[in-house]
């Protein structure tokens, strides 16, 4: 029983050392940690970039599940983000993420999402919308999923239903202002493989149908586990091996 267990420890330890080595030898290029929606300037259906020293981030625009394209509208109060429009024709609100529209970001390795920010998310009666709601869905690196929401409930107050999170108003949610919000540590300390931004239905102030809950994606800031994380894993595995040897000796 001892030898197979020790072999498993050695294999996992080897993987941990390889991961640590990979972290240590990453090229210094593309080491920025924030992706800005304003940079999706190709206005196609996808946007790809490399950040965090080698992590590939791939973004896709969808409209009711069909391929769409990224689009922009004039920013407010200095905040400009990216939205969605159909590949052909006009969207419900070109330049924003509207009902049925999504922007999905996928990462080549699990990342810690440290922050995201959105704009043009209002609480009403601005533009006849009431407590606009952003729906954020996440696929974790462990293949589990979760859904969250960010709701503008005041000029400078918004609610996020995640835990251990701070929502900061970057620009008041009033007419001709940005209605911009920053959400810190939205998914806790879990590694994220994919995150999707969508919008929720709601009532309009004027009673003329449902509100758009349309908004723009301003930015996403992420990080990768530090080499120390792998070092701690390796130390733990070595401790397990030492304990197994002591058990065999006794």
Q: Mean pLDDT score of the chain, rounded to an integer?
A: 81
Q: pLDDT by residue (tens digit) across 11-52? A: 444 444 444 344 434 445 689 999 999 999 888 999 999 999
| C-alpha span between 40 and 49 (Å, rounded) | 10
pLDDT at 18: 45
Please spell the DSSP secondary structure of 120-147, one letter per residue. S---SSGGGB-S-EEEEEEEETTS-EEE
Q: pLDDT by residue (tens digit) across 189-224? A: 999 999 999 998 765 555 555 556 889 999 999 999
- Domain spans in the chain, listed from the N-terminal domain onward: 28-225
Bridge partners, 101 (sequence order): 63
H or E segment at 91?
none
Q: Compute the average pLDDT of residues 225-239.
A: 55
| C-alpha span between 195 and 136 (Å, rounded) | 7
CA 65 centroid distance within chain? 19
| C-alpha span between 138 and 188 (Å, rounded) | 12
pLDDT at 50: 97
Q: How confident is the model at residue 8 (pLDDT cuts 50, 70, 90)?
A: very low
Least confident of 35-44, 82-91, 117-126, 232-241: 232-241
Q: What is the pTM of this model?
A: 0.78
Is 50 exceeded by the pLDDT of residue 246?
yes
């Amino acid at each position: 029983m001892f030898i197979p267990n020790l072999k498993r420890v050695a294999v996992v330890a080897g993987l941990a050392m390889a991961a640590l080595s990979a972290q240590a030898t990453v090229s210094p290029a593309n080491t920025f940690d924030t992706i800005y929606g304003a940079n999706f300037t190709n206005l196609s259906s996808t946007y790809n970039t490399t950040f965090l020293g080698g992590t590939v981030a791939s973004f896709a625009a969808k409209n009711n599940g069909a391929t769409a394209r990224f689009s922009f509208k004039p920013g407010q109060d200095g905040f400009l983000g990216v939205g969605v429009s159909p590949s052909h024709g006009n969207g419900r609100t070109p330049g924003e993420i509207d009902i049925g529209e999504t922007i999905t970001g996928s990462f080549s390795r699990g990342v810690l999402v440290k922050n995201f920010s959105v704009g043009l998310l209002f609480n009403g009666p601005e533009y006849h919308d009431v407590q606009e709601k952003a729906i954020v869905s996440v696929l974790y690196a462990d293949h589990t999923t979760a859904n969250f929401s960010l709701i503008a409930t005041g000029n400078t107050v918004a609610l996020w239903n995640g835990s251990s999170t701070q929502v900061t108003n970057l620009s008041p949610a009033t007419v001709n202002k940005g209605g911009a919000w920053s959400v810190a540590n939205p998914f806790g300390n879990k590694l994220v493989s994919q995150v999707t931004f969508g919008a929720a239905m709601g009532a309009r102030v004027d009673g003329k149908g449902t509100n758009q809950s349309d908004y723009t994606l301003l930015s996403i800031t992420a990080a990768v586990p530090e080499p120390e994380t792998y070092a701690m894993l390796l130390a733990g595995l070595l401790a397990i091996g030492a304990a197994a040897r002591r058990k065999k000796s006794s």
